[in-house]
Chain A
Amino acid sequence: IAGITQAPTSQILAAGRRMTLRCTQDMRHNAMYWYRQDLGLGLRLIHYSNTAGTTGKGEVPDGYSVSRANTDDFPLTLASAVPSQTSVYFCASSDSRGRRGHGELFFGEGSRLTVL
């Protein structure tokens, strides 16, 4: 079982370019999330999706967009990258309805993005 797969593992990107971080889970979890982690600021929620077809804004959504066309995939797009979006991005999923487990989050291994 792969769990959550993120791609790319790392990327260097020129400012102004468009970038999509991919996230796929094979656990059939209803909910998925994107966090960013910056030194000294901990993990901050960017966007989330409670079920396929729905998305919501987290704590730091500006400059990012997401889509949830199906259960398994939750891509994060930076339409026009800026240097302040340099960060490590973590995707997570959970069975938030509690039918399996107790809603705990399962994280991917992260995508390190550098915007120059």
Chain B
Amino acid sequence: DAKTTQPTSMDCAEGRAANLPCNHSTISGNEYVYWYRQIHSQGPQYIIHGLKNNETNEMASLIITEDRKSSTLILPHATLRDTAVYYCIVRSRDNYGQNFVFGPGTRLSVLP
């Protein structure tokens, strides 16, 4: 599965949009982009995933570039409870879960 690159940390003001980038330049055609987050001491939580179209759910939006080499997770109105480590993962749906490789992620701090 393709590797991803994310910034180590980011800050965002409460109430503003948080835009978390992820580079996955070696992504292949059948690989999806998944986003998870981990709030301190809790288990990671699934946020959203996509293949090539932009996706939106109640938690976030996922914008994938046309060449699929990068993506951005958008939290439209960040709250203090969104402070967490955010993981971007690419993997094929055909693969079993052993290929969910969690990198160091981006530590997002939402500031009051």
Seen from chain A, the residues whose Cβ lies within 8 Å of a Cβ on chain B are 4, 31, 33, 35, 42-45, 48, 50, 56, 58, 88, 90, 92, 94, 96, 98, 102-110
A104 proximity list for chain B (CB < 8 A) = 34, 46, 49
Interface of A is mostly: strand
Q: Which residue of A lies closest to B48 (CB)?
A: A104
Q: Is residue B16 contacting chain A, with contact meaning CB distance below 8 A?
A: no
Q: Could you show 22 A-B contacts with beta carbons less than 8 Å apart? A: A4-B43, A33-B97, A33-B98, A35-B102, A43-B44, A43-B102, A45-B98, A45-B100, A48-B96, A50-B96, A56-B98, A58-B98, A92-B44, A94-B97, A96-B96, A103-B93, A105-B36, A105-B97, A105-B100, A106-B46, A107-B45, A109-B42
Of the candidates A44, A50, A107, the one whose C-beta lies within 8 Å of that of B43 is A107
A44 proximity list for chain B (CB < 8 A) = 102
Give the number of chain B interface residues (Cβ < 8 Å).
Answer: 21
List 11 additional A-B contacts (Cβ < 8 Å) besides A94-B97, A105-B100, A110-B41: A33-B97, A33-B98, A48-B97, A48-B98, A50-B96, A96-B96, A98-B93, A102-B49, A105-B44, A107-B43, A110-B43
**How far, in whole Å, are A48 and B98 apart by their CA atoms in the complex?**
7
